[in-house]
Amino acid sequence: MSKHYFGTDGIRGRVGEPPITPDFVMRLGYAAGRVLAAKGANLPAGARPTVLIGKDPRISGYMLEAALEAGLTAAGVDALLTGPMPTPAVAYLTRALRLQAGVVISASHNPYYDNGIKFFSADGAKLPDDVEHAIEAELEKPMQVMESSKLGKAKRLDDAAGRYVEFCKSTFPNNMDLRGLKIVLDCAHGATYHVAPPVFHELGAEVIAIGNEPNGLNINLDVGSTHPQALQKAVVAHQADLGIAFDGDGDRVLMVDAEGRLLDGDQLLYIIALGLYAKGKLKGGVAGTLMTNLALEHALQKHQIPFARAKVGDRYVLELLNEKNWKLGGENSGHILTLDKHTSGDAIIAALQVLHALKQSGKTLTQMYGELVLYPQVLINVTTQSKLDLSLAPIQSVVTKAEKTLNGAGRVLLRASGTEPKIRVMVEGQDAKLVKKIAEEIAEVVKIAAG
């Protein structure tokens, strides 16, 4: 059964336009509260279910936080407010405090005028489909506010940041520190602005922070993992050893070496995998997505490390990891999951695992990723007026021809966008000119087929 509001990562849109409006978010809070109250039937007598609410610093967070709080308390559920906190911090605190659910108000790497709502279950994982379906079903019913004696209450969790900082530090070895490293942190004017600098500083690094002055309107604006140029310049200017860029809600990470070269999620995943493999601590293999660069797969094969691909989206990487009982996976966008450390993707923790691998090896960031040379990758988006059948003979014919030309030294991937009326044509291989030529040929056939 398809969902009307929930996408692959919660509910997201432009503020002021359905569904990101105060009235809808209040009803969403009420609906979620009703579902969670029913699931919390085994709580001690007199105890109410409690939901944690965190947000990133964008200006609409105040409005949506109040709306969510109103909806939850109307349903008889207590709300615990953290203020600005990274998405993975909410996942951690929900689990650590034994709460019934966590909610994050964030649109991640999107501009300030967007926002969204995503939920975590009691164990710090994204909500299962059946719970999201139950919330959507409850949304169709009218709100019936609990009688006054059964209304929920709301209060602030004043030590949320301190708890999360200590948790992040606990994922780094006690017998190791970051002394001698000069690190530039780009917090994207987002949710990591007040927690990331203390984590790395307290572990011994010299920290230079940029993108750490949110004003509600500047989140992700020319900074962070979606705009790494600011970090690249800062690393070179400060003669730092490396730089780390987070996105607005702190679940994506990219890094920059001392020369200002950018490393994507595939390269960071490779460094973490090799560090674990060297110590015999890599549990199973590594999970990527359909967009993971083929060079990573080939590089892992040289070390006899298993690799598997999931659909695009960190929730699908998580599903694949759980299915195989593996612990490490991620996307080239910088979503990296280290399930031996946390239940969700966490940019700060992923960065710490990269630094652990560096310290363990005695190598620089440049030396660690040097043997992984990513293959050229060309992505062309073809706009369509309606759903296009990718199994049509002309499309399959040109794809088959392309795969024969690449002869195992490259890949072709066609997929429909989950958010736009577009077909994404991706071709990668060792020969950049050939890859570009093939991608353009396939895109032209798809364009003709789309009419």
* pLDDT tier, 386 (very low <50, low <70, confident <90, very high otherwise): confident
> Would you state the pLDDT for residue 9?
81
Rounded-to-5 percentages of helix, strand, coil across the chain? 40, 20, 40
* pLDDT tier, 43 (very low <50, low <70, confident <90, very high otherwise): confident
| Among candidate residues 166, 196, 185, 180, the one with its CA nearest the CA of residue 359 | 180
* pLDDT tier, 403 (very low <50, low <70, confident <90, very high otherwise): very high
> Would you state the pLDDT for residue 82?
98
| pLDDT, mean over the chain | 94
* pLDDT tier, 126 (very low <50, low <70, confident <90, very high otherwise): confident
* pLDDT tier, 265 (very low <50, low <70, confident <90, very high otherwise): very high
With b for 16 or more beta-carbon neighbours within 10 A and e for fewer, the 16-41 pattern comes to eeebbbbebbbbbbbbbbbbbbebbe
For tokens 């359905």, name the residue. Answer: 18
The span from the CA of 88 to the CA of 99, in Å, is 15
Pairing assessment for the beta strands 422-429 and 377-383 based on DSSP bridges: antiparallel
- The residues near 257 (Cβ < 8 Å, ≥ 6 apart) are 235, 242, 263, 364, 365, 366, 369
* pLDDT tier, 421 (very low <50, low <70, confident <90, very high otherwise): confident
| Among candidate residues 54, 189, 330, the one with its CA nearest the CA of residue 339 | 330
The span from the CA of 57 to the CA of 345, in Å, is 20
Dihedral angle of Cα 92, 98, 99, 102, to the nearest 10 degrees: 10
Q: Is the pLDDT of residue 120 over 90?
A: yes
Active site (annotated) includes residue 108:
yes
More confident residue, 421 or 137: 137
Task: State pLDDT tens for residues 196-254.
Answer: 999 999 999 999 999 999 999 999 999 999 999 999 999 999 999 999 999 999 999 99
Task: State pLDDT tens for residues 8-42.
Answer: 789 999 999 999 999 999 999 999 999 987 765 56
Q: Is the pLDDT of residue 1 over 70?
A: no
Q: Is the pLDDT of residue 398 over 70?
A: yes
| Domains and their CATH numbers in the chain | 11-158 (3.40.120.10), 164-369 (3.40.120.10), 377-449 (3.30.310.50)
**Which DSSP letter does residue 7 get?**
B
For the beta sheet containing 410-416, the strands, ordered from the edge strand earlier in sequence to the opposite edge, are 377-383, 422-429, 410-416
Is 121 in contact with 131 (CB distance < 8 Å)?
yes
Q: Is the pLDDT of residue 434 over 90?
A: yes
Percent of the chain with pLDDT over 70: 98
Catalytic residue among 108, 121, 225, 344: 108
The span from the CA of 104 to the CA of 377, in Å, is 33
**Per the structure block, which two tokens stand in for 358?**
């560096």
Tell me how crowded residue 154 is: count the other CB atoms within 10 A of its CB: 19
The span from the CA of 79 to the CA of 102, in Å, is 9
> Would you state the pLDDT for residue 47?
82
Residue 351 belongs to what H/E stretch? helix 347-361
> Would you state the pLDDT for residue 370?
84
The span from the CA of 308 to the CA of 227, in Å, is 29
Identity of the amino acid at 440: E
The distance from CA 106 to its chain's CA centroid, rounded to whole angstroms, is 12
The span from the CA of 289 to the CA of 269, in Å, is 12
Q: Is the pLDDT of residue 419 over 70?
A: no
